[in-house]
Amino acid sequence: MAVALGDCSCYGKGMRGWPNLSELLVARDSNAPVGLVGAPLAAGSVTPGSCDLAPALLRETLRRIGRYDIETKREISTRIVDRGDVEIAGMTIEQATGPIREAVQFSAALHELTLVVGGNNAVTRPAVLGLGMPLERVGLITLDAHFDMRDTHEGLSNGNPVRALINDGLPGANIAQIGLAAFANSRRMHEDAVAAGNLVITIGEVGLNGVPRAIERALSHVEHCEAIVVDCDIDVIDRSQLPGAPGARPGGMAVADFFNAVRYLASQRKVRVIDLTEWDPPLDTTDLSALTAARWVAECLSGYELR
């Protein structure tokens, strides 16, 4: 398993008087309940981009995210072992699947929760496989505008990790998909997802019934599973609030709802892996998308501390 350690210069070097998330990152020889794995995969994107730049920028942006939540009056204290980036530069998805799976499996064996920072959405399949468990015992919850049910006959892509996992043997009864967007999917994908037994919750349903209800339904759908992977495809967020995702569209999830959903899911003991995918830094000339991605880490940790 080849892994390149991220920039460790931020460890323990927060701004004076400003406790921030970068202070919680510790080196690989440390003990901590949460692990961080970078999976800078860009190959196989339906829309070519630079998602491979995301893990490094996320680490850098952690300096700008505080640790104190004024709403709950709690300060995040959970440390994160930074396990660096998987060395997959120049690899196809097929070639990168093994190294990413091994890195996730190594982290999951040592930590109660592993955060996987993509890279494009193709990293979700090796993240699920990285639990090293029979797929009938694993649940998958996606926050995503898309089904990710494109055909696999032309190879793996960021548009088909869910179909690929179903082909691997992941039952639809173990899959809950939240935030599916209008005019962003095909009839066949929808019908195939329903036929497989996936729980489908559209963005319209989220708006009508609220995020807590959507998460409760998803958790109920996968309650028979022993472990759960959460895929946070950041293009589920409304494009105006997250311009740095090529698949994001107007009418998506409000970013506040996204944060609430992530915290809720991270609070569940069965959730072992949470990924963040489809953030393409060059698409956003501002720092909005970077701050949103870094805030995702805060929400994951806040949820974890509620366990």
pLDDT in tens, 68-99: 999 999 999 999 999 999 999 999 999 999 99
User: Closest Cα to residue 230, out of 281, 178, 164, 193?
Assistant: 178
Mean pLDDT calculated for residue range 210-216:
98
Give the count of domains, the chain.
1
Mean pLDDT calculated for residue range 294-303:
98
What local confidence, expressed as pLDDT, does residue 6 receive?
Answer: 46
3-state secondary structure 71-136: CCCEECCCCEEEEEEECCCCCCHHHHHHHHHHHHHHHHHHCCEEEEEECCHHHHHHHHHCCCCCHH
- Confidence (pTM): 0.95
pLDDT in tens, 113-143: 999 999 999 999 999 999 999 999 999 999 9
What local confidence, expressed as pLDDT, does residue 244 receive?
Answer: 97
- DSSP one-letter code for 237: B
What local confidence, expressed as pLDDT, does residue 47 receive?
Answer: 84
Q: Is 2 a residue whose pLDDT tops 90? A: no
pLDDT in tens, 221-255: 999 999 999 999 999 999 999 999 999 999 999 99
Residue 183 is part of which domain span? 3-304
Rounded Cα distance between 5 and 220, Å, is 37
CATH number where 73 lies:
3.40.800.10
Rounded Cα distance between 151 and 132, Å, is 25
What local confidence, expressed as pLDDT, does residue 37 receive?
Answer: 98
What local confidence, expressed as pLDDT, does residue 259 receive?
Answer: 98
What local confidence, expressed as pLDDT, does residue 282 receive?
Answer: 97
**Who's near 75: CB < 8 A, 6+ residues apart?**
19, 67, 68, 69
pLDDT in tens, 144-163: 999 999 999 989 999 999 99
What local confidence, expressed as pLDDT, does residue 11 receive?
Answer: 41
Rounded Cα distance between 211 and 252, Å, is 13
What local confidence, expressed as pLDDT, does residue 249 receive?
Answer: 95
pLDDT in tens, 16-39: 678 999 999 998 888 999 999 999
